[in-house]
Amino acid sequence: MMIMTAKDFFKQFPDESACVHHMKKMREKNGLVCRKCASKRLS
């Protein structure tokens, strides 16, 4: 995990949409996985 200062955080995520965009990119990269059964199948 990368540690960053508050200044760095707000530089990377100046607003909510920048943060949401980053989270969506990370989710697409890693895929969604069920915590209970580890399935990648979505219903």
Number of domains in the chain: 1
Mind listing the pLDDT tens digit for each residue in 19-40?
A: 999 998 988 887 888 888 888 8
3-class secondary-structure state, position 39 = coil
Does a structural domain hold residue 1?
no
Q: In the structure encoding, which two tokens stand for residue 42, read together?
A: 């979505």
Cβ-in-10-Å burial (0-12, 13-18, 19+) of 1 comes to exposed
Does a structural domain hold residue 33?
yes
Range of the domain at 16: 6-40
Residue 43 confidence class, pLDDT cut points 50, 70, 90: low
DSSP state of 3: -
Does a structural domain hold residue 15?
yes
Does a structural domain hold residue 27?
yes
Q: How many helices (H) and strands (E) does the chain have?
A: 2, 0
